[in-house]
Structure 1
Amino acid sequence: MSVTRRGLGALGAGLGLLPLMPRDAAAQSAVVMMEPMPCLDRQGDIVALLLEGSGAPAGAVVTFGQVFKAGDLPRGAGLVARLADGTALPVQADVLNRHEDGSARFAVLALAAPQVGRGSRAGVILSRGRAAQARAFDVTPLMARRSITIELNDQAIDLMALLAESLARRGARPFQSGPLAVQMRVVTPVDVGGVTSLRMVSDVTLRADGELTVELWMRNDGAMRPGGGAVGYRVRVLLDGQEAMAAEIPRHHQYTAWGRLMHTGAPVPLVRPDPTYLAEAGATPRYDLTTGVAAGLLGTMARQIGSEDWAQPFNSRGVLRAMGSGGGRPDIGPMTQSQAAWLITGDPRAAMHAIGQAEAAGSIPWHYWDTEAGRWMDTRRWPRLWTDPRGGPPPGGLAQRISGDTGWSLAASHQPDLSYLPWLLTGRRAFLDGLQAQACWCVIGRWPAPRGTAGRPGVAEGVNVVRGNQVRGSAWSLRTLTNAAWASPDEDATTPWLRETSQANWTWVRQQIPRWTQAQGEAHGWIPGEYGVRGALPPWQQDYFAAAAAAAARQGSPDARAVLRWMENFLAGRFLAGRQGFPPNDGAAYLLAVNADAEARNPLKTWAAIGEATRSGNLSNGDGWSKTQGDYAQLALQSLAQVIDVTGSEDAARAYAWLSEADAPYTRDEDYRRNPLFNIVPRGKPRVPSRVMRCR
């Protein structure tokens, strides 16, 4: 498969990011910090952001995603924008979902940006203002002078004509519609070689500055229909008659997708978000902004992006294809490594890397589109479905099995979340597709026996992702489900199932607390599951689960908050039970001997018994760290930090303070600079207080 050089240029420009700049040796050894945000100094101010200059002319329209805290943008209120010097900027907000009080939770914004020179930055402040009539600008003149042609093998598809038909259709609901931008999705089933599973999905944005953006995805994701399968083709995109992208795809596997973002005109500025506001809004963990990120790591990301392989369709872009592989991986955590670096620094290299991996998520064969229902496949229409080959014929299994030569092996226990943050920060619908498809796979990709029987009495029956699962598999599945439920548009066809499924799972876990507490005794607070080592419990998997529970609690789940409060006893107690006979250093050991099993039948009930069994099994650190030769102390610190943030636990604060000063492996500032993946701290507890940034 190949993409032309013109296609490579369109890819980089389409992201709206700056070209990669060379870095000298001195810069490589430096630390990159977040730039200070503008001060919020007027009544009604909500959040600030920075525009990274691209050299685009004044008035260029940039679109991006923005999360809002509950109450910050009430229903009926308008949104206004200004530069730090007070100059007003036109802004458009299309609200996609809302908090329970009716205020905006997530919106796709369009901003008429000022001219910002390449390498320069401009501060922008978003505020509440008087609601104005937000009529869509007249797109007719723009559509008349622009053309979008997609050549698929010997077919020539006039996308602008299809767009006009879609906009004119009665009841049409544009994704964006206002004075600055109108965005519409055009879905075109295509017939290539008799394969019925391929569709062309185009998100076209018409901008009031006279330019347009096209995001084209070739999605071979149609499921449960005759004629599905792999297909080869050539595709070329012409914008105003000029080639913007061309690719030859010899074999496009079913259940996978690839896409490119292209535009006319100059690249628009990159929006740098305020990570502190995102954490306060419940969208992300609280990453530490005071350590910064090693420039060498960002340089490595830049080199990966600059390689010719990066731009090829179906390239994994650093995501491990053998998904079940363990070890310290940069793609697994509450976020990915490049997403964490993006939040901590706002650096374009991290942004481009994270966005590129979100595009690469399309190549993972977990995309199952239900054409008849018009949404991703779920248990409403397919209660018995198991996408594993052992699912058998439909409705128990897929009509066409996942090919064995996709290059990917799927594992819920090691699934990365590649799409959630890029969706929130860019507002690109393709990333919402990726997030929702993965969330649905978290259920229908699981063996139906432990997930339960739909319709059977009991919470989460038919959609249970915790019962009998590896704890890390439960954690990452719940992370994906919860994020998708929280971030999906209120009116999206997949959203109701995502919200019901996420809520049902957290309610089920909460209902198990009395039984698990009785079984676990003094040391209660750990989630039972399959561990692979008989009788042993990896505490770091509890840290994974705690991160998922904290995310759901921040996003408003009372059940997840109750689960996290229950877990406090174990998460903090493992570092505070020295007088009860459990060495605190063992709180971050790789394994603890607790006689654990999936049903929590006969575990050890006291810290003293667990401590003795851990020593007897040669699993103990003693007063050193020989059994913590990995990122296990980092994992413990991040889970304690999130417990403190969500619940205010004093015990968690004591445990966090002890472990922060214990000199455990990989917990020094330089470790977090080299790998920011788990660089999460409690509110008001930065690692380098002298570097706390003030607004400007």
Structure 2
Amino acid sequence: MKTRSLLWAVLLTAFPAGSAAASAPAAEPVTTVTVENISGADRPAGPVTFGMIFAKSDVEGMPAVEALPAQVDVKRRWPDGSVKHAILTVALPALPAGQSRKLALVGAAKPGPAAPEPAAMLTKPPDLAVQMKVHNGPAEVASLAAAAGDKQPKVWLNGKLASEVILKTAPTDPETGKPDPDLEVRFHVRHYPAAKSTRVVCVVENCKWSSPGSVPYDVSIRAGGKELFAQKDVGRWPKDDKPRGHTKWTRWVKRFWFGRPLDDVHVRYDVAYLTRTGLLPRYDPQLKLEEKALARMADRWRRAETAPLQRGSIMAYFPTTGGREDIGPLPTWTARYLISQDRRAMDVMLGNGDFSGSCPVHIRDAKTDWVLSLDDHPGYSLNARGTKFQMKPRDTADTPYVLEARSGFSVDAAHQPSLAYVPYLITGDYYYLEEMEFWAAFNMVAIHYAYRKEAAGLLTPNQVRGVGWSLRNLADAAALAPDGSKGQAYFEAKLANNLKYLKDWVSGPEASPLGTYKLGASHAYTRGWSPKMRGVYFSMPPWQHNFLTWAAAHVADLGYADADAFRDYMMKFTIGLFTHPDEITPYAGSAYFLFVGERRPDGSVWWYDTWKDVHQRTYFAPGEQDRPLPTGIGPSEYTKAARGVLIEAVRAGRPDAQKALDWISQQVPQEKMRFDSDPTWAFRMPQR
């Protein structure tokens, strides 16, 4: 016990670079946040922790809170040294029931090298244990006390107001002392000394690269002799006719408070400022969301599947077609949260961020205890026909209880949501950071090793939309991984490889005067035609093209100038569809697909280089499918995506972008877009 207490003291006294106490006199605020007391009772003085993003150059040194003590843990800076992302812990005065307090965030003077300050020491961790009864196997326990012996802990927050460490341990059979070969439990322990409050995040994983399959178990999480949470048949979905178990490469999370709970406030941000940072889509902060839509969303969440390893609001079968709330620049529920700052929308967003862990994309390399790196394994791929070697699962002779059950999720790149990015930005929770990194790493590992150029990690061997969503998730991980971390170096390098490849391509001989993304043209939209005809035409869905174009614009907004050339090239296609009425009907801009090239009898490909060719071949060339000429557009998702891209094109100063945007606005005015119920693409119009 003495050793354990000493270890905790050592862990929590190191004062890491980038973490500091900050307060400031009255000054012009950079932005504000409003903290609301939602407890239903008077709130005594006590801390509140939240994440904050800042525009480039707004905070050169350290952010501070006007007139209040605050601890600032800076996680990422812009290339010019200004703060990009930080976690703030503010000593909030007492707040009456139902009341709120606006906090002004200012840029403090640039701090010099300060001597380390003693952080708050948690000398006795909570008596918390995760107890598992493996079906047809042992009873196992993973305790926080055992995790305190972790020899490689990670300090995440550290200062006078709050400290947090990340620990791990394996569930162990108390009778034999044998650790579970597949499962791990990670504890994120945050302590607020003044409030005498501790938050413990329990993350239960089956994420080892060598995991042979699914582990069936019942779980009980206990502390001080009390059961805090219990679940039979973990991983079993409502319609399953037999146990599924904890499937490999997945994880689940639960959070617990000891002492005074501090989750009794809701932080509201200045949406206009958040969207000016370049880190988020430029949603219209003036948009008023329909209360009915928020209420329906909250009701669906109450009825959703929310036990460990369930799906929440996420579509389990990713290739499902049709309109969905998880697909878009950000999921619809995240857009609703950002625009409305409604607590119900935040709960749905964070809940689905938790269920990101249910998707089988979480592969840890035992040698690094981190994501599977292409630098370490350039020839490996999850594509069975596209890998130089297979990872041999561990032998299960001693664990016959392991099941071959598959996850209830079927994931792909083409329908991949952004589940953890905004949750990480606003909370700073380490769980969400890891989720971002797992997805970004998985998308590269899933591609044939030769097609992705081995360690280069190219994402282009994908459907057009798959490149877009994968590029977004890679760029988000690269832009927000903490300074000096493995994630920053790794994802920045892979993003740079992709941007160079795309930049070289659009400036090379394969580029089209129309801005056609030839790399993604396919025969997918002539399925059902005879073998002779199916391979003739290369098709391109404008909406998928727009998904990728928005992603390129997003990467450029994140500060990666190497994305500009590819963004501008892609925008040319969207703009051109709406601004050449003498050659192609502008209604084609929201069509399901267009023909952009065809294979000649000699095997060569004729890529159309005029809009007239695209129009004539799409609607009048010989074929085996009725392709009626469109005569109008409505407020479809295709139209909304095109509008969103054109708004970005106007901002980027692209020729004729305003003309194209004006045409869409005349056809479908904003009030007919119904953004008040579905704000997925509700970007604010640029000022003239």
Give TM-score scaled by structure 1 length: 0.82
Q: Which residue of structure 2 aligns with residue 495 of structure 1?
A: 488
Give the superposition deviation at 1:464. Answer: 1.2
Q: Which residue of structure 2 aligns with residue 431 of structure 1?
A: 432
Are residues 1:509 and 2:502 paired?
A: yes
Give the superposition deviation at 1:291. Answer: 2.6
Q: Which residue of structure 1 aligns with residue 217 of structure 2?
A: 233
2-structure distance, mates of 1:295, 1:670: 17
Q: Of the candidates 366, 374, 378, which is equivalent to residue 379 of structure 1?
A: 374
Shift of the 399–601 alpha-carbon distance from structure 1 to 2, 3 Å rule, reads farther
Give the 5 Å matches for 1:221-300: 221-224=207-210, 228-250=212-234, 251-264=245-258, 265-266=260-261, 267-300=263-296
Q: Which residue of structure 2 aligns with residue 448 of structure 1?
A: 449
State whether residues 174 and 183 of structure 1, in contact with CA within 8 Å, keep that contact through their aligned partners in structure 2.
yes
Shift of the 296–596 alpha-carbon distance from structure 1 to 2, 3 Å rule, reads farther
* Structure 2 letter corresponding to 1:47: T
Q: Which residue of structure 2 aligns with residue 475 of structure 1?
A: 468
2-structure distance, mates of 1:652, 1:315: 43
Q: Which runs of 5+ in 1 are unaligned?
A: 1-39, 83-87, 455-459, 686-696
* Structure 2 letter corresponding to 1:658: W
Give the 5 Å matches for 1:341-360: 341-360=336-355
- In the TM superposition, what whole-angstrom CA distance separates every residue of 1:611-662 from its partner, at most 9, and x where no partner exists? 222331554654423xx684111010011112223x1335212211221121
Q: Which residue of structure 2 aligns with residue 643 of structure 1?
A: 649
State whether residues 412 and 477 of structure 1, in contact with CA within 8 Å, keep that contact through their aligned partners in structure 2.
yes
Are residues 1:624 and 2:632 paired?
A: yes
Give the 5 Å matches for 1:306-317: 306-307=302-303, 310-317=305-312
Q: How large is the RMSD of aligned CA atoms in angstroms? A: 2.9
State whether residues 287 and 676 of structure 2, in contact with CA within 8 Å, keep that contact through their aligned partners in structure 1.
yes
Are residues 1:538 and 2:541 paired?
A: yes
Q: Which runs of 5+ in 2 are unaligned?
A: 1-23, 134-138, 235-244, 395-401, 526-536
User: Which is bigger in relative contact order (C-alpha 8 A, separation at least 6)?
Assistant: 1
Q: Which residue of structure 2 aligns with residue 174 of structure 1?
A: 155
Shift of the 629–174 alpha-carbon distance from structure 1 to 2, 3 Å rule, reads closer
1-structure distance, mates of 2:545, 2:25: 42
* Structure 1 letter corresponding to 2:664: L
2-structure distance, mates of 1:344, 1:643: 22
Moved more, 54-63 or 211-220: 54-63
SS of 2:169 mapped into structure 1: strand
Across the two proteins, how many residue pairs are aligned to each other?
Answer: 613
State whether residues 374 and 493 of structure 1, in contact with CA within 8 Å, keep that contact through their aligned partners in structure 2.
no
Give percent identity, aligned residues only: 25
Give the superposition deviation at 1:414. Answer: 0.8
Shift of the 60–149 alpha-carbon distance from structure 1 to 2, 3 Å rule, reads farther
Give the superposition deviation at 1:286. Answer: 0.4
1-structure distance, mates of 2:200, 2:117: 19
State whether residues 273 and 425 of structure 1, in contact with CA within 8 Å, keep that contact through their aligned partners in structure 2.
no
SS of 2:186 mapped into structure 1: strand
Give the 5 Å matches for 1:651-670: 651-663=656-668, 668-669=671-672
Are residues 1:553 and 2:532 paired?
A: no
- In the TM superposition, what whole-angstrom CA distance separates every residue of 1:133-188 from its partner, at most 9, and x where no partner exists? 69666534x5448543443444555415644x56xx6x965100011100000111
Q: Of the candidates 188, 193, 215, which is equivalent to residue 203 of structure 1?
A: 188
Moved more, 128-137 or 343-352: 128-137
Q: Which residue of structure 1 aligns with residue 29 of structure 2?
A: 45
Give the superposition deviation at 1:506. Answer: 1.1
- In the TM superposition, what whole-angstrom CA distance separates every residue of 1:29-87 from its partner, at most 9, and x where no partner exists? xxxxxxxxxxx99645222112132236233222221112222222xx343213xxxxx
Give the superposition deviation at 1:509. Answer: 0.5
State whether residues 197 and 223 of structure 1, in contact with CA within 8 Å, keep that contact through their aligned partners in structure 2.
no
Are residues 1:110 and 2:89 paired?
A: yes
Q: Which residue of structure 2 aligns with residue 528 of structure 1?
A: 519
Shift of the 173–447 alpha-carbon distance from structure 1 to 2, 3 Å rule, reads closer
2-structure distance, mates of 1:452, 1:327: 33
Q: Of the candidates 35, 47, 59, which is equivalent to residue 73 of structure 1?
A: 59
Shift of the 46–239 alpha-carbon distance from structure 1 to 2, 3 Å rule, reads farther
* Structure 2 letter corresponding to 1:624: G
2-structure distance, mates of 1:137, 1:149: 29
* Structure 1 letter corresponding to 2:297: M
Give the superposition deviation at 1:241. Answer: 4.7
Are residues 1:368 and 2:370 paired?
A: no
Give the 5 Å matches for 1:397-436: 397=391, 399=393, 405-436=406-437
State whether residues 577 and 607 of structure 1, in contact with CA within 8 Å, keep that contact through their aligned partners in structure 2.
yes
* Structure 2 letter corresponding to 1:418: L
Give the superposition deviation at 1:492. Answer: 2.4
SS of 2:676 mapped into structure 1: helix
Shift of the 527–675 alpha-carbon distance from structure 1 to 2, 3 Å rule, reads farther
State whether residues 142 and 172 of structure 2, in contact with CA within 8 Å, keep that contact through their aligned partners in structure 1.
no
Moved more, 614-623 or 631-640: 614-623
Are residues 1:572 and 2:575 paired?
A: yes
Larger-Rg structure: 2
* Structure 2 letter corresponding to 1:121: S
Give the superposition deviation at 1:114. Answer: 3.5
Give the superposition deviation at 1:451. Answer: 1.4
Q: Of the candidates 100, 117, 129, which is equivalent to residue 108 of structure 2?
A: 129
Give the superposition deviation at 1:223. Answer: 0.8
2-structure distance, mates of 1:475, 1:199: 33
- In the TM superposition, what whole-angstrom CA distance separates every residue of 1:505-534 from its partner, at most 9, and x where no partner exists? 01100101133665x33x235353144124
Q: Which residue of structure 1 aligns with residue 591 of structure 2?
A: 589
Q: Which residue of structure 2 aligns with residue 609 of structure 1?
A: 613
Q: Which residue of structure 1 aligns with residue 75 of structure 2?
A: 96
Higher helix share: 1
